[in-house]
Amino acid sequence: MSNAAQVIEAGKAVLGIEFGSTRIKAVLVDEAGKPVASGAHDWENQLVDGIWTYSLDAIWGGLQDCYKNMAEDVKKQYGVEVKNLAAIGFSAMMHGYMAFDENDTLLVPFRTWRNTITGQACEELSPYLNFNVPQRWSVAHLYQAILNGEEHVKSIKFQTTLAGYIHWQMSGEKVVGIGEAAGMFPINSKTRDYNQTMVDKFDAKLAEKGMPYKLRDIFPKVLVAGEHAGTLTAEGAKKLDPTGTLQPGALMCPPEGDAGTGMVATNSVAVRTGNVSAGTSVFAMVVLENELKKLHKELDMVTTPAGDAVAMVHCNNCTSDLNAWVNIFKEFAESFGMDVDMNKLFGTLYNKALEGDKDCGGLLAYNYFSGEHITGFTEGRPMVVRTPEAKFNLANFMRVNLYTALGALKCGLDILLKEEQVKIDCIYGHGGLFKTKGVGQSILAAAMNAPVAVMETAGEGGAWGIALLAAYMADKEDGETLDAYLNNKIFAGEKGETMNPDPADVEGFDQFIELYKAGLPIEAAAVKAMK
């Protein structure tokens, strides 16, 4: 019998499950935090009456199928069954709105983070709280429902997120991890709780609107990484594994959001570190040493699962237009009868970009498939623009498309790094942009003027991240911090490559971004002209 089989049979394995926007994933880890089995379930949100949602049936059916697939993977690999677990953690896409009445009945269909229907609430709350409240935040959804005069709002007894809901159903505990809570309502990183000054101000709004509750009456309790958040109940075990094989009693860690689990999975929870996830969309998260000097609408303030303040820059567009251009080159090659390997094509074109001029030779591109709030666009039109004298060649063309994939992100990061003078020791990159060795990494290092590391394990994702949080809660030693646990027990000896920024690349990206900002009226004109 393999070591993994023994760990599973002994009930010492730890399970993490994350509800992503398109996939629910389960990862089972051993005592060293190494993945030993996994399962997944693909799903899609539905647009119902103008609201992006997932039904309760889809949530529970997806969770059970995901767990079943993980259990089958264990059986296939090791010939054993999952009967007992040491610990479990649940995470999910952050934000959104799930409101319940006194009978624990969902009052309206789950409103996900994707809904941009809370503009009025944000416009009122952000200056009132002196804090940037994004549209996707749970408090924005609550306040918008109140402003809309929706009937259900006076009946709310409990409001939570998707991760908070699953955890509650599994354990009976109405709690969330602090990283998840930071996408519901502003957090005070010193008290590791909702910001009480802002709670008091919001409570005054609730009273003014005639609501029969205060915020803390209906919001979940905030817990930090390492705290116990209940145990798997008999009812919860049956909901997760309807076969009845899984037994109750596993310890449960605080449920977290996907931002927090991504930080754990990339070992970027320590102060002066951060991570950039670059795929279809792109976001950067930087763990702060000090509070920011002022409010910036371009920056979201959240926390690590341990409660340290994090500045987040989130952009809608990243690699979609870049991928579209690569596909054009694929079509070109196929027109000549060539059989094209996509990995080789991406590698060749990405590396070609490194031969280009540091400022892209005067080329300008926008990758806006959709709007981009950082630069003030509600719609987008992908485009490439140049002057007649610009150096238009393949290397510069590829380079400008790589630069613009991070263009909006750099606009937000410049506020953080230049205006607020935040210091970064290292950034961890993960996602499709970094697949071609050294290229996306060098471009990001230039954009941020900071070292960028890419870890081999970064592809394990958020389900692994929440499994590690559950393992930390179950196994941590007295006084052992989350970043120490990750550094010494999970990522010790981990292979990864760090790339320092090239000063010439940094200067070139800065020149490009000036042109990028100056050219935004061209993008605006295209949006207006091409309806």
pLDDT of 459 strictly over 80: no
Which residue is listed with tokens 């969309």? Answer: 281
Distance (Å, rounded) from C-alpha 90 to C-alpha 18?
6
Question: What whole-number percentage of the chain has pLDDT above 70?
Answer: 99
Q: Quote the pLDDT of residue 114.
A: 87
Q: Let me know how long the chain is.
A: 531
Mean pLDDT of 505-515: 98
Q: Quote the pLDDT of residue 281.
A: 86
The answer to whether 87 and 250 are in contact (CB under 8 A) is yes
Q: Quote the pLDDT of residue 392.
A: 98
Residues of the chain with CATH 3.30.420.40: 95-160+185-218
If one compares 105 and 493, the residue with the highest pLDDT of the two is: 105
CA angle (395 as vertex; 390, 400 as ends), nearest 5? 65
Work out whether strand 383-385 and strand 309-315 pair parallel, antiparallel, or are unpaired.
unpaired
175: nearest Cα among 255, 104, 98: 255
Q: Quote the pLDDT of residue 416.
A: 94
Strand partners, 312: 285, 300
If one compares 433 and 230, the residue with the highest pLDDT of the two is: 230
- Which amino acid, one-letter code, is at 390? A
Strand partners, 159: 99
Q: Quote the pLDDT of residue 493.
A: 78
Q: Quote the pLDDT of residue 494.
A: 77
Q: What are the tokens at 259?
A: 């931002």
3-state DSSP call for residue 425?
coil
**H or E segment and range at residue 78:** helix 56-78
Backbone dihedral angles phi then psi of residue 421, each to the nearest 5 degrees = 55, 45
Q: Quote the pLDDT of residue 386.
A: 97
Architecture of the domain whose range is 95-160+185-218: 2-Layer Sandwich (3.30)
pLDDT of 499 strictly over 70: yes
Q: Quote the pLDDT of residue 3.
A: 92
255: nearest Cα among 229, 234, 236: 229
- Which range, of 149-158, 204-213, 454-463, averages the lowest pLDDT? 454-463
Distance (Å, rounded) from C-alpha 511 to C-alpha 355?
17
Mean pLDDT of 352-365: 98
Q: Quote the pLDDT of residue 1.
A: 58
Strand partners, 301: 311
The rounded mean pLDDT for the chain is 95
234: nearest Cα among 244, 220, 243, 221: 244
pLDDT of 460 strictly over 80: no
Q: What are the tokens at 157?
A: 């007894």
The answer to whether 144 and 82 are in contact (CB under 8 A) is no
pTM of the model: 0.88
Mean pLDDT of 191-216: 98
pLDDT of 86 strictly over 90: yes
Which residue is listed with tokens 């049979």? Answer: 9
pLDDT of 21 strictly over 90: no
The answer to whether 85 and 92 are in contact (CB under 8 A) is no
Mean pLDDT of 311-321: 93
Mean pLDDT of 349-371: 97
Distance set, CA 62 to CA 22, 41, 69, 180, 197 (Å): 11, 6, 11, 21, 39
Q: What are the tokens at 467?
A: 């499994």
Confidence of residue 457 (pLDDT cuts 50, 70, 90): low
The answer to whether 85 and 67 are in contact (CB under 8 A) is no
Distance (Å, rounded) from C-alpha 290 to C-alpha 275?
18
- Which amino acid, one-letter code, is at 188? N
Q: Quote the pLDDT of residue 110.
A: 98
405: nearest Cα among 432, 379, 373, 428: 432
pLDDT of 109 strictly over 90: yes
